[in-house]
Chain A
Amino acid sequence: MSTFDSKHAAHLHRHIHSHVPSDPALRVKALESLAVEKGLISSETIDAWVEAYSEHIGPMRGAKVVARAWVDPGFKTRLLADATEAIKEFGFEGNATGHLKAVENTDAQHNMVVCTLCSCYPFSILGMSPAWYKSAAYRARAVREPRTVLAEFGVNLPEEVAVRVWDSTAELRYLVVPQRPAGTDDWDEDRLSGIVTRNSMIGTDRVLKAGGA
């Protein structure tokens, strides 16, 4: 007859080996440790990147850019002319890959962004892309049937509003500037940035709500 011996169990437990990570986790560990040894990257940079994009860098950056475009016509002109240059005044830390182009929604045109090739996305100002942006379904359907895709996102675009789909590349990424909602005339930049949704800056959301703040 066996009896339960907690001290013995604890002793055994201490000798059980560490949990072996999953196959992809081990492959990443292998690649990272080799790349660090060869001086291609530093582990501090990788750790800082992961922390920044897990915790700090998100769509609030883009929302601040949009809000400033709404209140400052001079900034908006600069943003639409050269977004990469215009957003430098925010002093966001971190590197942006490629050039950024801002495209403005109007009563006559709605803009929507996709990367049909892979998942190019302005992550330095919007954070990591949502899961649906990376999906094969979105990458294929956004171009083929944008209005149907928009309707699924809850955006029912009137016939008279044209939809323009922008296909991102490694060299050129897009930020949609949504329309400023009515009833926000006396709002300051900070308050306005609170109602700019991530999806509105990708173009899968259109009508922002003043009551949402």
Chain B
Amino acid sequence: MFRPDNPLAPRDPVFDEAWQAQVLAIADTMVQAGRFSATAWAETLGTELRAAEAAGKPDTTQTYYEAALAALERLTTEATEITGTDLSKRKATWTRAYERTPHGQPVLLERGRDGQD
């Protein structure tokens, strides 16, 4: 059930969380820079959205942005030299960096590096 906009309601924030904006920003920037095509982005996002729907995920903004992130990861690993292993290793490094950084200090990637990272 859809509803008309209430013109008197306060404006919702455009993005609920920063990472959601970053996903679309990176995808659009990659398209503008020719790293992958707008059509490839639409098709991959469409595939991820259908998969989310088929998996019974709720029809929410969160589901949409999770599908967008999955699509961005997939296209990035297909169209650039970045691999899936690079992504998971880097995520682990960032996680350690956060865990090792005292509250209030800037979180630097260096702090999360272990040996071969």
Query: Would A50 and B5 be within 8 Å (CB), given that A26-B94, A97-B31, A118-B45 are in contact?
Result: no
Proximity bits, A72-88, B CB within 8 Å = 1, else 0? 00000000000000000
Contact check, B19 vs A28: say whether CB atoms are below 8 A apart: yes
Query: Would A16 and B103 be within 8 Å (CB), given that A118-B46, A127-B14 are in contact?
Result: yes
Among the stretches A38-46, A101-109, A183-191, the one at the interface with B is: A38-46
Query: Would A31 and B53 be within 8 Å (CB), given that A17-B98, A41-B29, A50-B18 are in contact?
Result: no
Q: Indicate which residue in A24, A30, A38, A138 contacts B2 across the interface (CB closer than 8 Å).
A: A138
Cα–Cα, bound, A19→B19 (Å): 15
B38: nearest chain-A partner, CB-CB: A170
Q: How far is the CB of B68 from chain A (nearest CB, A)?
A: 8
Proximity bits, B68-102, A CB within 8 Å = 1, else 0? 01001100100011100011101101110011111
The B contact surface, by secondary structure, is helix
Cα–Cα, bound, A213→B2 (Å): 24
Chain B residues bordering chain A, tally (CB within 8 A): 66
When distances are taken between beta carbons in the complex, the residues of chain B under 8 Å from A171 are 38-39
Q: How far is the CB of A189 from chain B (nearest CB, A)?
A: 21
Query: Would A53 and B49 be within 8 Å (CB), given that A24-B19, A40-B33, A98-B38 are in contact?
Result: no
Q: How far is the CB of A129 from chain B (nearest CB, A)?
A: 10
Proximity bits, B11-25, A CB within 8 Å = 1, else 0? 001110111011111
Query: Would A46 and B22 be within 8 Å (CB), given that A27-B69, A136-B59, A170-B41 are in contact?
Result: yes
Contact check, B101 vs A18: say whether CB atoms are below 8 A apart: yes
When distances are taken between beta carbons in the complex, the residues of chain A under 8 Å from B103 are 13-19
Contact check, A31 vs B72: say whether CB atoms are below 8 A apart: yes
Contact check, B25 vs A53: say whether CB atoms are below 8 A apart: yes
Q: How far is the CB of B61 from chain A (nearest CB, A)?
A: 5
Would you call A25 an interface residue if the criterion is a C-beta within 8 Å of the partner chain's C-beta atoms? yes
Cα–Cα, bound, A15→B13 (Å): 33
Would you call B104 an interface residue if the criterion is a C-beta within 8 Å of the partner chain's C-beta atoms? yes
B residues 1-59 with Cβ under 8 Å of A? 1-5, 7, 13-15, 17-19, 21-26, 28-33, 35, 37-39, 41-43, 45-46, 49, 53, 59
When distances are taken between beta carbons in the complex, the residues of chain A under 8 Å from B116 are none
When distances are taken between beta carbons in the complex, the residues of chain A under 8 Å from B43 are 117
> What 9 new A-B contacts, CB under 8 Å, besides A14-B103, A31-B76, A33-B90?
A17-B98, A18-B102, A26-B94, A30-B94, A32-B26, A35-B30, A46-B25, A154-B3, A170-B39
A-side residues, CB < 8 A to B, are 13-22, 24-35, 38, 40-41, 45-46, 49-50, 53-54, 58, 95, 97-98, 115, 117-120, 127-128, 131-132, 134-138, 149, 152-155, 169-171, 197-199, 204-205, 212
